[in-house]
Amino acid sequence: MGNLSAEFMNAKLNDAKVHFERALDCKHTEFDDLYPYMIEHPQFFWYKRYVAWSELLTIVKLSEELEMEWRDQFTERQADYIAKRVMSSKVLDEWYETETNDSKEHVG
């Protein structure tokens, strides 16, 4: 059962990461279907990102409580942003940038 739980949590963590990244990229998520009237409001994308970020933090918190590793699904900086828990403009601006920076550092 332990392996099943770890696999389940890893899948949920990956789903939450994809959801957050889709919200960052202004792509369609389940949130659009739940609140179609919100699309007309300028704050919609901020709220959508906030909801996705909250979901990601919740899954990470559950993983920690179950003593499961979650950081290996993220770059070092992404994991650091998640650990700090605050969705700042830096998180929004540099979520992807860090991946290319990190991969370049590992080449040398």
pLDDT tens per residue across span 43-85 = 888 999 999 999 999 999 999 999 999 999 999 999 999 999 9
Give residues with Cβ within 8 angstroms of 66, minimum separation 6: 5, 9
| Cβ neighbours, 10 Å, residue 2 | 8
Find where tokens 């392996």 sit. Answer: 3
The pLDDT, as a whole number, for residue 105 is 47
Single-letter amino acid code for the residue at 63: S
Provide the whole-model pTM. 0.82
The number of helix segments (H) and strand segments (E) in the chain equals 6, 0
If DSSP codes are grouped into helix, strand and coil, which group holds residue 26? coil
User: 80 to each of 4, 28, 75, 99, how far by Cα in Å?
Assistant: 27, 26, 9, 13
Mean pLDDT of the chain: 87
Largest separation between any pair of C-alpha atoms in the chain = 49
User: 10 to each of 62, 64, 84, how far by Cα in Å?
Assistant: 11, 12, 20
Alpha carbons 70 and 58: distance in angstroms, whole number: 12
The pLDDT, as a whole number, for residue 100 is 52
The pLDDT, as a whole number, for residue 107 is 40
